[in-house]
Amino acid sequence: MRRIRYLYTLLPGCLLIASACTDLVIVPNHTTSPPTSCQTQPIEQNIVGTWHVESTINPKRPTQTGTITFTADGAIDDPDALFETSILGKPVVAKTYDPSVPFQDTSPRNVFMIYLSIQQSGQYAQITPFTVLRNECNYIQLVLTSSTYQNLGLILTRQ
């Protein structure tokens, strides 16, 4: 490659810079990223809505995908049955969540809880704690809060 002593030329979308010390370098002509209208909210607010979900919470099954809606009042609409539909032979009648439950183990923190009920009385048949690994505008990653299953959880992408 032939070296050029000094060259500063604007081309559509690029700035060409070359000197006697380096080979030709092409640098994008825009130095800032495009503005985004999304500012991440706390998990309690961000979770509300409809999400595409990749679930690896059951180590005996391959990754499952589907749609889940988290409502502002704490209910979960799970039309693709990503969470259990029956427990101990009894149908699950309610799926709910609490995004910020105090949890005490080696380091105190809040966890994201999923509750599955088999009775209308509010008794829970299954409680699953998740740690919020990532909380972004259109992407949330929850991992099971357990030292045994560090790589199991849910990846949510906003629809």
Q: CB atoms < 10 A from the CB of 56, how many?
A: 17
Domain containing residue 82: CATH number: 2.40.128
Percent of the chain whose pLDDT exceeds 90: 47
Question: Are 10 and 55 within one domain?
Answer: no
Question: Are 66 and 144 within one domain?
Answer: yes
Say which residue, 19 or 47, is predicted with more confidence.
Answer: 47
Question: Are 67 and 142 within one domain?
Answer: yes
pLDDT above 70: residue 81? yes
Question: What is the pLDDT, as a whole number, of residue 8?
Answer: 34
Closest CA to 155 of 144, 142, 137: 142
Which residue range is the domain that position 8 belongs to? 1-30
Average of per-residue pLDDT across 17-40: 48
Task: Look at residue 132 and tell me if it is in a domain.
Answer: yes
Question: Are 93 and 148 within one domain?
Answer: yes
Task: Look at residue 137 and tell me if it is in a domain.
Answer: yes
Q: CB atoms < 10 A from the CB of 144, how many?
A: 20
- Give the single-character DSSP code of 55: E
Residues whose CB is less than 8 angstroms from the CB of residue 32 and which lie 6 or more positions away in sequence, other chains included: none
Question: Are 126 and 87 within one domain?
Answer: yes
Task: Look at residue 97 and tell me if it is in a domain.
Answer: yes
* pLDDT level of residue 94 (50, 70, 90 thresholds): very high
Quote the tokens at residue 144. 């099971």
User: Total structural domains in the chain?
Assistant: 2
Question: What is the pLDDT, as a whole number, of residue 121?
Answer: 59
Task: Look at residue 36 and tell me if it is in a domain.
Answer: no
